[in-house]
Amino acid sequence: MADHIDVAQGLPANPEKATLEGKNKFLGMWVFLGGETVMFATFFGTFLGLRKGTVGGPTAEDLFSLPLVFIMTMILLTSSLTSVLGILAMKRNNFKTLRTCMLLTVLLGFGFVGFEVYEFYHYYHEGLGYTTSAFASSFYTLVGLHGCHVLFGLGWIITLLARYWNAGGVTLANAPKFYSASLYWHFIDVVWVFIFTVVYLLSVGGA
Amino acid sequence: MATATMTAKKEKSVLWDWLTTVDHKKLAILYLVAGTLFFVKAGVMALFIRIQLMIPENDFMTGQVFNELITMHGTIMLFLAVTPLIFGFMNFAIPLQIGARDVAFPFINALGFWIFFFGGLLLSVSWFFGGAPDAGWTAYVPLSTREFAGSGMDFYALGLQVSGFGTLISAINFIVTIINMRAPGMTMMRMPLFCWTGLVTSILIVFAFTPLAAGLALLMLDRIFSGQFFLPDMGGNAILWAHIFWIFGHPEVYILVLPAFGIISEVVPAFSHKRLFGYTAMVFATIVIAFLSFMVWVHHMFTIGIGPITNSVFALATMTIAVPTGIKIFNWLFTMWGGKLVFNTAMLCAASFVPTFVLGGITGVMLSMAPVDYLYHDTYFVVAHFHYIIVGGIVFGLLAGLYYWYPKMFGHKLNETLGKIMFWSLYIGFHLTFFIQHILGLIGMQRRVYTYLGGQGFDMMNLVSSIGSFVMGAAIVVLVINIVYSAYTSERITVRDPWDARTLEWSTPTPIPEYNFAQTPQVRSLDPWFYEKVHGDGTMKPAEPMGDIHMPNGSILPFMIGLGLFIWGFGMIMLNMDNPIIPPAIVIGVGFVITFGMMVLHSKEDHGYHIPVDEVKKIEKGVG
Amino acid sequence: MSDEMSKPFPKSAMTEDERYELKRETRIQVISFAFMIGLTIMSFLSVSTETIVTGFAIPFILLLGAVQFFLQLFYFMHLKDKDHGWPNTFFTTGLVLMTPMLIALILLLGVTKW
Ligand code: HEM
Ligand SMILES: [Cu+2]
């Protein structure tokens, strides 16, 4: 750990990696995300392997409504941008903007979850229960797991915001935390790119 | 410097100290104790299994109990005994070997232990709630689905899910520790081989335990929420589980064996008094093995009938693993070649590892030929194969590590006479038990049958195998006696380096102060401690001046999070119980709130405390 | 030292160069965001309009997905930066290891039923 931190000198250019703790968090987060990739790949594989198994129940073509998915995609992409802007503000020692951007991210995240809940509710009423078919189970599991990740990310960012709302500025202790949370948030977004491509578009496109 | 943060260390009660510790050396001991308890438990199960099979048509136990015992034996041995024992040694040795004061995430380290522990507990309480899991450690569907298996499989799915999560975060901690916390001069290619294998094993855990988590989630969803993944009538596919399980399962066997390779690569040079032969080749062999281990899982599924092309591809991939493994074998042999060999217990275990492991590897290559595997598959030949590797390889490796690091961990050596008695009885008992199982398998005895008819030529061999297992049991009893006996009679060790060894952990004083190194050492070569003994003045050069030492605070939160997950998991299982007394939703909710509540509490900043430089000097004088 | 960890800073220690770099960085991020939005719209359009044949649309959206994936990783998550060697290693390892597994599950379960 760097022995002396002279606050008067100003915030280092990359505050999230200025301390050994920060460097550790940064690398640890990436290793974790590497593992998450493989876990999601397993669920994607399950879905892709089982998606034809509708046994007479509703199929993907019957159900999926692209406009809804499009709106959800836009919301999540935008929330990723706001968290990028937040981190860039953090590097400039602009805590207020960081706060606002993260708050925006949270609001967009809730918007996304809201749409997802509506979507599931809708499909359920169209006759696609969790146990209807292997397609139904694997679809709900994959997309639902992503939804749980969104919820966990929201809980994380909200905790950080509540803890640091009045911290008065970016510090060497909170910068790595915001940075890790935003990495996690981007990862959720990356997974969604695959979900909308492979789960929705591919099925509707007739492959 | 900020004196305000030097929280005076209050005297803590012993129990509280162990529950809240984040010190890697203490966590190592916790891992060793927990792992040993689970090991003994699963070992007793093995003895029961062998008693049942000792004579034909035995009625010592029912088929149901037999199934529960083999399932729990395998599951506990792999997930709850060998894994924590390995983690115990990794926790103890890795920070010392790379010259670090602690691991990268002391809190996560403790968290990993407690989550693993509570996960193991969750699996173990299954005996009291309608019986243990009974579908084999591989939990193949449809045997393990809601249709055919009792509540034991719920405990399997959730217990392993929880303990696997603990293992995963511990692995992340090791990876970051090894990459970020190395002392100045300790480049990657100067790290002791145990650190390398620890790193690679941790990487394997990150990429193999995550598919397992996914698979267990599917099994849990099948059993508790009637997910339709595995039922062909509902569009599912039963082979899906086998794929996911072995995508995890084959890397898992290397997760277990690589650290044993690492221990052997420490012990053999130390007692040959020679540097490890072919260090670079060893490192690359480790990496290649790890990579290949993800490309061969279908060799467990040859007889499922996935088709000739798939089988051939995976058979070839499997055979290539023998190449890097062979490199390792030869390097150990060449390390011993011409060395000043000292055959104490540690070295005996390490040296005997080599031929035993070769036997296990050869049967592995035999099994990898898909056409003949139709003959071997699901017979005692496979049982003999993996026990040659797991007992003859991993257990002997772990014992070598135990005898080798024991003086550093506990301040005294284990008794050598008792050690040798243990070694020889274990070695003989082991071959008696398992060698004959090769033949049993070849003449047609299937595995996982709870009894057999007499007069098929199995009787004598099964008897011999059972007798061998009692000899092994006796050897473990000798080990336990040795631990107690040595604690009372062994002479205390005050020197740093009782074995005249080579790596950094032997440069620390015994007993090790909680901060490990008063001054971070400057590493100048591979085998840095040996280098300083030969080329320097026999002490490590410091890389920094004496100063205040920053230490993390202990915390009870890891224990509480583990407890929360236990309660949550138990609540999930209650959803399937006929008469749960308390509504499961409440239990789930309580577990959830405890787990996440503790995480929120943890978000409070805690910067630890400092040991002032005067006190460091005092401690150093005391132990120096 | 520990107290300083939680103290806010009166100013930023960035040099002029770093400040300029950060401005450029911001611009790049916003542009890549716009680009990603464009890619997304394209893939949705190529599926929802009848004019594009399926045989083309499917590989096309997969390609767009892959491009967007790399943009996200390398720009939003900074994998392109120099000090990201280890993260890069880990993430790439994850991708490499999941490939045979995905292929196996898709081909062995989804395409041919074994
Ligand atoms: C040269 C290296 C190895 C090769 C070629 C190899 C090959 C195989 C093959 C082909 C099987 C499947 C047999 C069957 O079910 O018909 C198998 C089973 C097994 N191997 Fe290995 N193996 C090797 C090393 C290891 C190692 C290092 C371990 C453990 C640390 C191990 C543990 C196991 C276990 C536990 C099973 C049985 C799983 C079960 O069905 O319950 N193997 N091995
Ligand atoms: Cu295998």
Q: What share of chain A is helix, strand, coil (3-state, %, to 5)?
A: 75, 0, 20
DSSP string, C76-97: IT-TTSGGGHHHHHHHHHHHHH
Task: Of A169-178, B196-205, B475-484, C67-76, give the lowest mean pLDDT range.
Answer: C67-76
As a whole number, the mean pLDDT across chain C is: 83
Give the residues across from B446 on adjacent strands: B379
Model pLDDT, residue A207: 65
Complex ipTM: 0.94
Rounded CA gap, A205 and B16, in Å?
Answer: 60
| Neighboring chain C residues of A8 at a CB cutoff of 8 Å | 10
Q: Which of A46, A8, A20, A24 is nearest to A145 (CA)?
A: A46
- The secondary structure of residue B293, as a DSSP letter, is T
Contact across the interface for A41 and C101, Cβ inside 8 Å: yes
Rounded CA gap, B565 and A194, in Å?
Answer: 30
Specify whether the CB–CB gap between B374 and B299 falls below 8 A.
Answer: no
pLDDT band at C9 (very low <50, low <70, confident <90, very high): confident
Q: State the helix-helix crossing angle for A95-125 and A66-91, rounded to 10 degrees.
A: 160
* CA-based nearest distance C111→chain A, Å: 8
* C-alpha dihedral, C47 to C53 to C54 to C57, nearest 10°: -50
**φ, ψ for residue C26, nearest 5 deg:** -60, -45
Q: Which two tokens stand for residue A112?
A: 């996304």
**Positive or negative torsion for Cα B477, B483, B488, B489:** positive
Q: Which helix (H) or strand (E) holds A71?
A: helix A66-91
Alpha helices in B21-77 (DSSP H): 24-53, 63-75
Collect all residues from A whose CB is shorter than 8 A from any CB in B. Answer: 1, 3, 20, 23-24, 27-28, 31-32, 34-36, 38-39, 41-43, 46, 49-50, 52-55, 130-138, 141, 145, 155, 159-160, 163, 173, 177
Half-sphere exposure of C11 (CA within 13 A, CB side): 6
User: Chain C within 8 Å of A74 (Cβ-Cβ)?
Assistant: yes
Rounded CA gap, B393 and B322, in Å?
Answer: 15
pLDDT band at B158 (very low <50, low <70, confident <90, very high): very high
Closest atom of ligand 1 to CA, residue B74: 41
| Ligand 1 pocket residue status of B382, Cβ below 6 Å | yes
Name residue, tokens 């929880």.
B162
**φ, ψ for residue B609, nearest 5 deg:** -140, 175
Rounded CA gap, C74 and B47, in Å?
Answer: 55
| Neighboring chain C residues of B550 at a CB cutoff of 8 Å | 1-2
CA B189 to chain centre: 25
Rounded CA gap, A24 and B552, in Å?
Answer: 15
Q: Is the pLDDT of residue B7 over 70?
A: no
pTM: 0.93
Closest atom of ligand 1 to CA, residue B137: 41
Contact across the interface for C77 and A183, Cβ inside 8 Å: yes
Q: Is the pLDDT of residue B501 over 70?
A: yes
| Neighboring chain B residues of C93 at a CB cutoff of 8 Å | 203, 207
Q: Residue with the nearest Cα to atom 19 of ligand 1?
A: B386
Q: Residue with the nearest Cα to atom 36 of ligand 1?
A: B386
Rounded CA gap, B388 and B609, in Å?
Answer: 48
C-alpha R_g of chain A:
20
| Ligand 1 pocket residue status of B253, Cβ below 6 Å | yes
Closest atom of ligand 1 to CA, residue B325: 1
Alpha helices in A126-173 (DSSP H): 134-164
Rounded CA gap, C114 and C103, in Å?
Answer: 14
% of residues, chain B, pLDDT over 90: 80
User: Count of residues for chain A?
Assistant: 207
User: Chain B within 8 Å of C7 (Cβ-Cβ)?
Assistant: no
Q: Which of A116, A180, A102 is nearest to A145 (CA)?
A: A116
Give, as residue ranges, everything with CB less than 5 Å from ion ligand 2.
B 250
Q: For residue range B26-35, what is the model confidence (pLDDT) as tens digits? A: 999 999 999 9
Model pLDDT, residue C80: 76
Rounded CA gap, A125 and A119, in Å?
Answer: 10
Q: Which two tokens stand for residue A171?
A: 């510090």
Chains with 3+ CB–CB pairs under 8 A to C are: A, B
Rounded CA gap, B349 and B400, in Å?
Answer: 5
Coil vs helix vs strand at B550:
strand
Instruction: State which amino acid sits at residue B422.
Output: M
Q: Is the pLDDT of residue C1 over 50?
A: no
Q: Which two tokens stand for residue B519?
A: 């001054």
Q: Is the pLDDT of residue B8 over 70?
A: no
Closest atom of ligand 1 to CA, residue B367: 10
Specify whether the CB–CB gap between A157 and A181 falls below 8 A.
Answer: yes
**B386 CA distance to ligand 1 middle (Å):** 6
Specify whether the CB–CB gap between B349 and B403 falls below 8 A.
Answer: yes
Collect all residues from B whose CB is shorter than 8 A from any CB in C. Answer: 1-2, 4-5, 179, 203, 206-207, 211, 237, 239-240, 243, 247, 294-295, 298, 304-307, 310, 550, 605, 607-608, 610
**B168 CA distance to ligand 2 middle (Å):** 21
Q: Which residues of C68-82 are buried (b: 16+ CB within 10 A; e: fewer)?
A: bbebbbebbbbbeee
Question: How many Cβ atoms sit within 10 Å of the Cβ of residue B19?
Answer: 18
Q: State the helix-helix crossing angle for B63-75 and B152-180, rounded to 10 degrees.
A: 10
Closest atom of ligand 1 to CA, residue B302: 16
Q: pLDDT in tens for each of the 207 residues of chain A?
A: 444 566 777 788 888 888 888 999 999 999 999 999 999 999 999 999 998 888 888 888 888 888 999 999 999 999 999 999 999 999 888 899 999 999 999 999 999 999 999 999 999 998 999 999 999 999 999 999 999 999 999 999 999 999 998 888 888 888 999 999 999 999 999 999 999 999 998 888 776
Specify whether the CB–CB gap between B198 and B262 falls below 8 A.
Answer: yes
Q: Is the pLDDT of residue C2 over 60?
A: no
Look at B114 and B543; give whichever has higher pLDDT: B114
Q: Which two tokens stand for residue B371?
A: 């056409």
Q: Please tell me the class of the A66-207 domain.
A: mainly alpha
B200 exposure class (CB count in 10 Å sphere: 0-12, 13-18, 19+): buried
Q: Kindly list the domain boundaries of chain B, sorted by start residue.
A: 22-532
**φ, ψ for residue A8, nearest 5 deg:** -65, -25
Specify whether the CB–CB gap between A50 and C109 falls below 8 A.
Answer: yes
Task: State the first-to-last Cα distance of chain C, in angstroms, to the nearest integer.
Answer: 62
| Ligand 1 pocket residue status of B368, Cβ below 6 Å | yes
Model pLDDT, residue A11: 82
Nearest to B295 among C3, C100, C105 (CB): C100
Look at B538 and B426; give whichever has higher pLDDT: B426
**B357 CA distance to ligand 2 middle (Å):** 15
Q: Which of A57, A68, A49, A60 is nearest to A202 (CA)?
A: A60
Task: State the first-to-last Cα distance of chain B, in angstroms, to the nearest integer.
Answer: 27
Q: Which of B441, B343, B455 is nearest to B400 (CA)?
A: B343
Q: For residue range B554-575, what is the model confidence (pLDDT) as tens digits? A: 999 999 999 999 999 999 999 9
* CA-based nearest distance C1→chain B, Å: 6
Q: Which of A6, A59, A13, A36 is nearest to A152 (CA)?
A: A36
Q: Is the pLDDT of residue B3 over 80?
A: no
Model pLDDT, residue B119: 96
Model pLDDT, residue C113: 60
Q: Name the fold adopted by B22-532.
A: Cytochrome C Oxidase; Chain A (1.20.210)
pLDDT band at B288 (very low <50, low <70, confident <90, very high): very high
How far CA C89 is from CA of A3, A124, B375, C86, C92, in Å, comes to: 30, 42, 41, 5, 5
Rounded CA gap, A140 and A135, in Å?
Answer: 9
| Ligand 1 pocket residue status of B474, Cβ below 6 Å | no
Rounded CA gap, B469 and B463, in Å?
Answer: 10
| Ligand 1 pocket residue status of B290, Cβ below 6 Å | no
Q: Answer whether the bond into residue B142 is a cis peptide, omega within 30°.
A: yes
Q: Kindly list the domain boundaries of chain C, sorted by start residue.
A: 14-81, 82-114
Model pLDDT, residue B164: 95
Rounded CA gap, C48 and C38, in Å?
Answer: 15
Look at B190 and A203; give whichever has higher pLDDT: B190
Rounded CA gap, A9 and A22, in Å?
Answer: 19
Contact across the interface for C61 and A205, Cβ inside 8 Å: yes
Q: Which residues of A170-200 are buried (b: 16+ CB within 10 A; e: fewer)?
A: bbbbbbbbbbbbbbbbbbbbbbbbbbbbbbb
Model pLDDT, residue A17: 85
Q: Which residues of B174-186 are buried (b: 16+ CB within 10 A; e: fewer)?
A: bbbbbbbbbbebb
Give the pLDDT mean for B135-142: 92
Coil vs helix vs strand at B103:
coil
Q: Answer whether the bond into residue B192 is a cis peptide, omega within 30°.
A: no
Specify whether the CB–CB gap between B504 and B99 falls below 8 A.
Answer: yes
| Ligand 1 pocket residue status of B367, Cβ below 6 Å | yes
Alpha helices in B273-379 (DSSP H): 279-292, 308-320, 322-336, 345-367, 370-376
| Neighboring chain C residues of A174 at a CB cutoff of 8 Å | 6
How far CA B539 is from CA of A119, B504, B533, in Å, comes to: 67, 11, 7
Give the pLDDT mean for B166-189: 95
Task: Of A7-21, B281-295, C87-101, give the lowest mean pLDDT range.
Answer: A7-21
Give the pLDDT mean for B289-313: 92
Specify whether the CB–CB gap between B318 and B268 falls below 8 A.
Answer: no
Nearest to B227 among A1, A54, A137 (CB): A137
Model pLDDT, residue C111: 72
Contact across the interface for B176 and A135, Cβ inside 8 Å: no
Q: Which two tokens stand for residue B143?
A: 């045997």
**φ, ψ for residue B341, nearest 5 deg:** -75, 135
Nearest to C98 among A10, A41, A84 (CB): A41
| Ligand 1 pocket residue status of B365, Cβ below 6 Å | yes
Q: State the helix-helix crossing angle for B279-292 and B322-336, rounded to 10 degrees.
A: 150
Q: Residue with the nearest Cα to atom 42 of ligand 1?
A: B386
Alpha helices in B98-151 (DSSP H): 106-124
